[in-house]
Amino acid sequence: MEDMSGYPLELTGENIPMVSFKKVRKSYGSLTVLDDLDLDVNAGEMVSIIGPSGSGKTTVLRMLMTLETINSGVIYVDGKPLTHMPGKGGKLVPASARHLHERRADIGMCFQHFNLFPHMTALENCMEGPVQVLGLSKAEARDRSEELLELVGMIGKKDQHPSRLSGGQQQRVAIARALAMRPKVMLFDEVTSALDPEVIGEVTNVIRKLVSEHNLTMLMVTHQMGFARDISDRVCFFYDGKIEEQGPPADLFGKPQRERTQQFLSAVREAI
Amino acid sequence: MFDWKWEFVWEILPRLVQATGNTLIAAGAGYGIALVLGLVLAIAQRTPYRLLTFVVRELVEFIRSTPLLLQIFFVFYVGPQFGLRLSPWMSGMIAIGLHYSCYLSEVYRGGLDSVPRGQWEAATALNMTVVQKYRRIIIPQAIVPAVPGFGNYLVGIFKDTPMLSVIGVAELIHTANAIGSEHYRFLEPYTLVGLIFLAISLPAAGMIKVFENFVRRRMGMK
C-alpha cells in the first residue's frame, strides 16, 4: 500500500494550479508508461504535449479524464484530489465511483476518432450530456448547444447524423459536445490526427478561437508542431514516460536544450 | 387420390384460427420475456463481479445445452414440488421465455461487443453513470446489428410453441390433435396447421429485413 502521507487533502496557497500531477506513475505490467510525472497546468493556460509515439503523451490525458487508473501518485484538479479522496485519519484513499463522478465534471475531452454518438444528430450529441447528466431542460440544453454549434461553425448541420459529416465536421461537433458540459479543463487528444490534411485547418481554427476568446484551461496532445508553437503558452516534450524538456514554445522550438528534443524536432522537420 | 373434405375444413377452421391466436400469444409473451431477460443476462455477464458473471454464464450454457421440452416438463411437473404451482400457460411461457432468453443473451452480447470502446469513453467524458451509458448510448447501438439475430429467434420461438402442447396448452398442434381424435381425420387439421405456420413464418423473415432497415435509418446509420 502506498504511503499517502506526503499528499495534502487539498492544495492551498496562492495560484493553485488548475491541474496538478504529483509523482504520478502508470505502468502496464512491467512496462512503465509514465514515471513519477510532476506537471502543473495553471488556470487559463494552454499546454501542448509533444513527443514520439509511446512516450506516454496520450496517457496523461486519459488519466486526467479517468479513462485510465494510476498506479501511484495523485492528480489534483482545481486544488482537489481527482484520483483520490479524503479517507479516515486525514489521509487520501483511492477515489470511489461517486467521487470520480463528482470531480470528473470539471473535465471535458475530445478524441482522435471523435467518438460522436452515431444514433444521434449533431444537436442531440451536444444536448445529451447537459440533459442527462446536468439535468438541464431540453430547451436550455438546445439553446446552449445551438450556441456552441454556432461557435464551431456547425449550426447549419445540426440535424445531421455523424455518418453524414466529414471528419473535420465531426470533430467540430465533438468539441461543441464537450464544451456543452461547461468544463474547466479541456483535453484534446490528437484531434487532428485522423483528419484529411485539407480539413485540419477548420478544427485548429476552432481551437484557436477557444484559446483567444475563452478562459479555458487546455491540455493538447498533438503532432502538429506549427500549431502547438502558435497557440500554446507552454510546450512539454515527453520522452520515455518523462517530461524531457518544457518551456514557452519559442524556447522549446527555437533553442531546445536537450539532445533528445533536438533529435525529435529535427526528425519532425525532415518529415515535412 | 386424397380424401380431402372441404366441408370439414370449413368446420374446423374457426377452432384452428383461435388456436393460432393462442400460439401467437404464447410465442409473443415468451419472446417478450426472452427479450427483457436476455438483456439482463447479457449485461450481467459484463459486470466486474466475477462470481455473478461466472454463475450467469454457466446458467446460460446449461439452459442452452438441455432440451426445451425437458425444461417445460421441469417447470410444469417438478415446479409444484418446490411450491411453484403454475398453470400450463404460465409454465409454458416461462419455460420458453427462459430458454430463448439464453439464446437472445448471446445475440445481445454480440451487439454489445460490437459497440466501439470509444463510445464508452465518450460517455465517460460526458460524466454519464453506468446506467445512462447503457440506456442512452450502448444499448441503442447494440440493437442494430442484433436485429437479424432477434428475427431468427422470433421465428424459432414461434415454431417451438408446439412443444407446449405436451402440457396441454391449446396451441395449434394441440388443437389439431384434439380435432383429429374427435373426428378420426388428421389430414385436414395437420395440413392446415402446416399452412398456417408457413403463412406466418415466411413473411416474418421479410418483415424483419424491413424492420432492420427502418432501425438503421432511424439511427442514422445508413
Per-residue pLDDT of chain A (272 residues; tens, 9 = 90+): 677 888 899 998 888 999 999 999 999 988 899 999 999 999 999 999 999 988 889 999 999 999 999 999 999 999 999 999 998 888 899 999 999 999 999 999 999 999 999 999 999 999 999 999 999 999 999 999 999 999 999 999 999 999 999 999 999 999 999 999 999 999 999 999 999 999 999 999 999 999 988 889 999 999 999 999 999 999 999 999 999 999 999 999 999 999 999 999 999 888 76
SS3 letters across B68-118 = HHHHHHHHHHHHHHHCCCCCHHHHHHHHHHHHHHHHHHHHHHHHHHHCCHH
Cα–Cα dist A19/A78, whole Å = 6
Identify the residue among B119, B127, B132, B139 best suited for mutation to test binding to A, counting A beta carbons within 10 A and taking the highest: B127
If pLDDT is split at 50, 70 and 90, which confidence band does B11 have?
Answer: confident
Return the DSSP state at B126. Answer: T
Whether A9 is in a domain gets the answer no
Whether A11 is in a domain gets the answer no
In angstroms, what separates the C-alpha of B212 from chain A's closest C-alpha? 14
Return the DSSP state at A96. Answer: P
Residues of A in contact with B122 (CB under 8 A): 111, 115-117, 174
Give the closest residue to B114 by CA, choosing from B144, B83, B159: B144
State which amino acid sits at residue B27.
A
Whether A95 is in a domain gets the answer yes
ipTM reported for the complex, 2 dp? 0.94
pLDDT tens per residue across span A66-113: 999 999 999 999 999 999 999 888 889 999 999 999 999 999 999 999
- Picking from B121, B129, B221, the nearest residue to A118 by CB comes out as B221
Could you please report the per-residue DSSP string of B151-201? HHHHHHHHHHGGGGGGGT--SHHHHHHHHHHHHT--HHHHHHHHHHHHHHH
Query: Cα–Cα distances in Å, from A203 out to A130, A196, A225, B91, B101?
Result: 23, 11, 15, 60, 46
Q: Is B114 on the interface with A (CB under 8 A)?
A: no
Cα–Cα dist B215/B102, whole Å = 24
Judged by CB atoms closer than 8 Å, whether chains meet at A128 and B136 is answered as yes
pLDDT tens per residue across span B24-40: 999 999 999 999 999 99
CATH of the domain at A129: 3.40.50.300
State which amino acid sits at residue B157.
I
**Which residues, listed in sequence order, are joined to residue A245 by a DSSP beta bridge?**
A237
**How many domains, in total, are found in chain A?**
1
Instruction: Tell me the three cell numbers of residue A36.
Output: 513519477
Quick one: fold of B6-218?
MetI-like fold (1.10.3720)
Q: Cβ(A168)–Cβ(A154) under 8 Å? A: no
Mean pLDDT computed over every residue of chain B: 91
Residues of B in contact with A101 (CB under 8 A): 127, 129
Cα–Cα dist A104/B125, whole Å = 8
| Angle at the Cα of B9 from the Cα atoms of B6 and B12, rounded to 5 degrees | 155
Domain containing A54: what range? 19-271
Which ranges constitute the DSSP H helices of chain A? 57-64, 97-103, 122-132, 138-151, 167-179, 197-213, 225-231, 249-254, 259-271
- Strand A234-239, strand A46-50: pairing: parallel
Whether A154 is in a domain gets the answer yes
Cβ under 8 Å to A: B residues 6-45: none
**pLDDT of B128 higher than 70:** yes
Q: Is B199 on the interface with A (CB under 8 A)?
A: no
- Picking from A161, A162, A178, the nearest residue to B125 by CB comes out as A178
Q: Which residues contact A113 (CB under 8 A, 6 or more apart)?
A: A194, B118
Q: What pLDDT shows up at residue B6?
A: 87
Q: Cβ(A64)–Cβ(A219) under 8 Å? A: yes
